[in-house]
Amino acid sequence: MPQNKYTQIYYVLKKRIESGEYPVGYLLPSENTLIEEFECSRNTVRRAIAGLVRDGYVQTRQGRGVYNIFHPLEPSAYTMGTIESFVESTRRTRQSSATRVILFSECTADDELAQRTGFAPGTALFYIQRLHEIDGIVRILNHNYFRRDCLPGLTPQLAEGSVYHYLEAELHVSIVTSKRTITVEKATPLDRKWIDLGEYDCLAVVSNQTFNSDGVMFEYTQSRHHPAIFRFQDNAVRRASQTDREYSR
């Protein structure tokens, strides 16, 4: 349970929006009204609203108010903004899932790999290939590179489960930032060996640099998705003169 006041308010407002308590296309109660209701400061209400803006629920306009722009959407494999592991994602969408390790090796970053992944040349790495099954069908082929010094004791058995869970629960390392790039690539023989692409000849490719709380990039992953099950959602806010946001985390 979130104990932050602004997080609680965020959830209350979000629930009201989703349930239709606030009509779509109209203004939410003003900040001052919400301040009275939640008995808090202006700052706190505004932080809650900021979260709703970020997540595409509302939109603010100076002098007017806060518009409800909620439109229900189909749930998807990937959800905007968040860093979600494969296991978390399938659990949320109530799909059955399994992970299989097809390669577990160690390597050192040469210049080419360093260029491609962002690791410094010479970094000692695990290189793992994993398959993800959704409802019994192989849908994702992952190429994972982990810094060996950040994952002492990683074994093929552990890699069958959620590596993120291992990191957070066992090593008490928290994942903070993730830089993603989405592209579309032609299928390779390896892709075809494991994934039944049917009539497709491309995959959706998500390349991912992940940073732990020490600010070190400890993972580079390339996730190759069957195009039919790939879906990525995102909200963007046009900023006045580039950035207009406040705060973050």
Partner DNA sequence: GCCGATTTGTCCGTATGTATC
Partner DNA sequence: CGATACATACGGACAAATCGG
* Cβ pair 64, 105 in contact under 8 A: no
Site string for its own copies, 38-57 (x = CB under 8 A): --------xx-xxx-xxxx-
185 binds, among DNA, its own copies, none (CB under 5 to 8 A by kind): its own copies
81 binds its own copies (CB under 8 A): yes
Among residues 39, 111, 112, 244, the one that binds its own copies under rule CB under 8 A = 244
β-pairing verdict for 65-68 and 137-147: unpaired
Site string for its own copies, 98-137 (x = CB under 8 A): --------------------x-------------------
83 binds its own copies (CB under 8 A): yes
50 Cβ contact partners less than 8 Å away, ≥ 6 residues apart: 245, 246, 247
At 210, which helix (H) or strand (E)? strand 202-212
96 binds its own copies (CB under 8 A): no
Q: Which of 97, 103, 104, 105 is nearest to 138 (CA)?
A: 97
13 binds its own copies (CB under 8 A): no
Among residues 177, 192, 193, 196, the one that binds its own copies under rule CB under 8 A = 177
In degrees rounded to 5, what are phi and psi of residue 11? -70, -40
Ranges within 187-216 binding its own copies (CB under 8 A): 199-204, 209, 211, 213-216
61 binds its own copies (CB under 8 A): yes
Residue 183's alpha-carbon distances to 19, 118, 202, in angstroms, are 36, 17, 10
32 binds, among its own copies, DNA, none (CB under 5 to 8 A by kind): DNA
How many residues belong to the site for its own copies (CB under 8 A)? 78
Q: Assign 168 to helix, strand or coil.
A: helix
145 binds its own copies (CB under 8 A): no
181 binds its own copies (CB under 8 A): yes
C-alpha torsion 157→166→116→82, nearest 10: 130
Q: Please give the DSSP secondary-structure letter assigned to residue 124.
A: E
5 binds, among its own copies, DNA, none (CB under 5 to 8 A by kind): DNA
Q: What is the contact surface with DNA in residues (CB under 7 A)?
A: 4-7, 27-28, 30-33, 39-44, 46-47, 60-66, 213, 240, 244, 246, 249
236 binds its own copies (CB under 8 A): yes
Q: Which long-range contacts (CB under 8 A, 24 or more apart) does 90-98 make?
A: 90/134, 95/134, 95/135, 96/134, 96/135, 96/136, 97/132, 97/133, 97/134, 98/132, 98/133, 98/136
